[in-house]
Amino acid sequence: MTTVLATFFASLLISLAATPVARRFGKFIGAVDTPDARKVHHASIPRSGGIAIVCAFVVTVCSSPLLDTRVSDLLAWNLKFIGFFTGAILVFSMGLLDDVYRLNPKIKLLAQVFSASVAFAAGLRIESYYFTATPVHSVIISYALTVFWFVVLINAINLIDGLDGLAGGIAFFVCVMLTILLVRQKQYLPAMLFASLAGAVVGFLRYNFNPASIFMGDGGSYFLGYAIAGLSILGSAKAQTGTALLIPLLAMGVPVFDTILSPVRRFIIGKKLFQPDKNHIHHRLIEMGLSKKKTVLFIYAISVVLCLIAMITVNLQNKRAGLFFAIVGVTAVLFVRKLGYFEYLASDKILGWMKDITDVTGLSHSRRSFLGLQIEISQSRTLEELWSRVGSALEFLKLDRADLHIGLAVKDAERSIQPYYREERRKSTHNKPTQDGHVTSWESGSHCASMRILHWARGPYKRKEDVQKPFMLKIELPLANGSLAQQMTLFLVKDAGVEEIDAFTLRRLEQLRETMITVTNWLEKENEVREAPGTNVVRWDERRSSSGQATSRIPFFNFIMKSQPGTDERRRTDAVGRRRGHEARPQLRNISDPQRNCRSSPANSRS
């Protein structure tokens, strides 16, 4: 016991003397923490305190044989100790480089794994049979457990190091608790090492507690986490169960829990797993109204309670220990809920996420029904079939109006519609001349431009209302498909004041857009390789056919533009279509002359 206390005070004095030197050295090498939106301090502070902690610990341990006691004589520089100190220096060096140069998180993680691998290769490992009823020796399982143990504790200390004195205080309480337990178990060598580490930390806390004049930095936090992980394995070497390792895990409950929760929380909200944020436990406590110092003291109190619980569980039987851990678990859940972390796991968010999953996988009835409409659209072989089936899909989505602009450019939908249009309505069921029937479809010319516009509407609809009426959903979807890019645009309108917008409407519209692009691509390619019977196929830059009849400037639409019948025949065809039509089907016509059809007078347009 005397040796343990002597090493503690020796390390404490060395740390007190080395910390001011480390502070000046940190400024010299540029290891300075500058304030930003994520930091809670407002001045540039050196983050080189890890140098003082490492120096105090290493010097104390290396000089402990000078005490010439039975405990100090136990220190033998065998392969385990060499591997432990080699890995500790490696991970500290990587952390110090990060304090100066801000390394990539993946590089730091690889360095942590490599340092843990060095300790494993030296024999400092978690044997797989610790956690099984019967001894099962597996090098792979042992390596995975060892690396995971080191990485978790390294990052636990690193992530909790967000307030003055917080990480150092937690590490101090854990080291003291483990020192006491190891002394009671008469494992004096690991107890002496933990005491040396505790002295180095408490000496550093003299300068790191609020208001701090120096931070331990990543170098110090990496070293502390690595040292606690390695010495815990060393102290549990005589144990045959995993309980010996669960004790330090429980004592470090706050940082370990924060370490496990952080990547899960970031994954749920779609952030990078290693992206820093201000949602750690200490940040949440500050948001709840606690000051920085009170937040640190509050977490100190929780850590002390957890250390006491860990010491109590050592003397409990397995059944009682299980009940005790259950009580601790329930308390932790209540604490986490109070901090507001369960807002990511609220029932409405989980149900919404499940709906998204069923929709993406095609399990929902709505998705499967719309998929059937997509298949029908993809089987279209003419523009008439395409627009008719698109109308069925739009009616399924409960949209009110749709315009498909086909031309060289579409600058403004309303401007291109206003000059004139011809619409077809079903006869009113009451046969009142003043009452309009349901709008089916119509076709219009553009504003003094060579453009075709196909229209579709659902139910009795006033076209002017979609511009001035509030609560209108208006969407413009460009159908970019190779050479026709920016020459086809689908305009959609829905009155959200009458019917609510479905949760998946926008997703369905994107699926519809992709399907339409696929079909128009196919139609364009088909027109390039063959000429359909009875069609007027023209070159891209032609405006009229050889007979003088106007044709479309877009090749694949000429693919379905058949020779126009005479005036009388057209009237008879239209009359028959109006008598028989009960669905929203487009009437495809050539616009005879864009310049002649352009109407500048409002009297010539209908509303």
Name the residue range of residue 468's domain: 365-526+573-604
Spans of the chain below 50 pLDDT: 240-241, 408-440, 442-443, 445-449, 484-486, 530-607
Residues 6+ apart with CB under 8 A from 59: 11, 14
**Is 552 inside any structural domain?**
no
Domain boundary among 296, 317, 345: 345
**Is 356 inside any structural domain?**
no
HSE at residue 382, side-chain half, CA atoms within 13 A, is: 13
Which residue blocks in 269-364 are alpha helix, DSSP H? 281-287, 292-314, 318-339, 347-360
* Count: domains in the chain: 2
**Which amino acid, one-letter code, is at 597?**
N
How many angstroms from the chain centroid is the CA of residue 202?
39
Task: Indicate if 332 and 400 belong to the same structural domain.
Answer: no
Question: For the chain, what is the total number of helices (H) and then of strands (E)?
Answer: 23, 8
Cα dihedral 31, 32, 36, 41 in deg (nearest 10): 130
Domain boundary among 310, 345, 380: 345
Task: Indicate if 380 and 257 belong to the same structural domain.
Answer: no
Q: What integer pLDDT is reported at residue 105 of this predicted model?
A: 86
CATH number, domain with residue 397? 3.30.450
- Please tell me the distance from the alpha carbon of residue 591 to that of residue 383, in angstroms, as a whole number: 16
Task: Indicate if 12 and 52 belong to the same structural domain.
Answer: yes
Task: Indicate if 292 and 407 belong to the same structural domain.
Answer: no
Q: Are 48 and 217 in contact (CB under 8 A)?
A: yes
Q: Is 373 exposed, middle or buried (0-12, 13-18, 19+ CB in 10 A)?
A: buried
**Is 405 inside any structural domain?**
yes
DSSP conformation class of 443: E
Q: What integer pLDDT is reported at residue 450 of this predicted model?
A: 58
Residues 6+ apart with CB under 8 A from 355: 364, 503
Task: Indicate if 455 and 579 belong to the same structural domain.
Answer: yes
Q: What is the pLDDT of residues 406-437, one digit of tens each?
A: 764 434 434 434 444 444 444 434 434 333 43
Q: Are 19 and 209 in contact (CB under 8 A)?
A: no
- Please tell me the distance from the alpha carbon of residue 8 to that of residue 60, in angstroms, as a whole number: 9
Task: Indicate if 372 and 501 belong to the same structural domain.
Answer: yes
**Which amino acid, one-letter code, is at 240?**
Q
- Return the axis-axis angle of helices 243-251 and 253-268, rounded to nearest 10°: 80
- Please tell me the distance from the alpha carbon of residue 150 to that of residue 115, in angstroms, as a whole number: 9
Task: Indicate if 401 and 465 belong to the same structural domain.
Answer: yes
- Please tell me the distance from the alpha carbon of residue 177 to that of residue 231, in angstroms, as a whole number: 13
Q: What integer pLDDT is reported at residue 408 of this predicted model?
A: 47
Task: Indicate if 177 and 284 belong to the same structural domain.
Answer: yes
- Please tell me the distance from the alpha carbon of residue 158 to that of residue 274, in angstroms, as a whole number: 12
How many angstroms from the chain centroid is the CA of residue 155?
20
Q: What is the pLDDT of residues 236-294, one digit of tens each?
A: 765 544 556 777 888 888 888 888 877 877 777 777 777 777 777 887 888 887 888 88
Which residue blocks in 30-138 are alpha helix, DSSP H? 49-63, 70-73, 79-101, 105-121
Task: Indicate if 136 and 176 belong to the same structural domain.
Answer: yes
**Is 257 inside any structural domain?**
yes
First to last CA, the chain: 97
**Is 350 inside any structural domain?**
no
**Is 565 inside any structural domain?**
no
**Is 551 inside any structural domain?**
no
Q: What integer pLDDT is reported at residue 171 of this predicted model?
A: 92
HSE at residue 484, side-chain half, CA atoms within 13 A, is: 24
- Please tell me the distance from the alpha carbon of residue 511 to that of residue 163, in angstroms, as a whole number: 49
Task: Indicate if 339 and 374 belong to the same structural domain.
Answer: no
Domain boundary among 283, 310, 345: 345
Task: Indicate if 305 and 173 belong to the same structural domain.
Answer: yes
Looking at the DSSP assignment, which residues form a beta bridge with residue 402? 456, 492
Q: Are 213 and 346 in contact (CB under 8 A)?
A: no
- Please tell me the distance from the alpha carbon of residue 195 to that of residue 187, in angstroms, as a whole number: 12
**Per-residue exposure over 292-313, b if at least 16 CB sit within 10 Å of its own CB, e if not:** beebbeebbeebbebbebbbeb
Task: Indicate if 387 and 296 belong to the same structural domain.
Answer: no
**Is 39 inside any structural domain?**
yes
Tokens standing for residue 185: 């178990």
Tell which residue, 256, 207, 231, has the closest CA to residue 21: 207
DSSP symbols for 221-248: HHHHHHHHHHHHHHHTTT-SSTHHHHHH
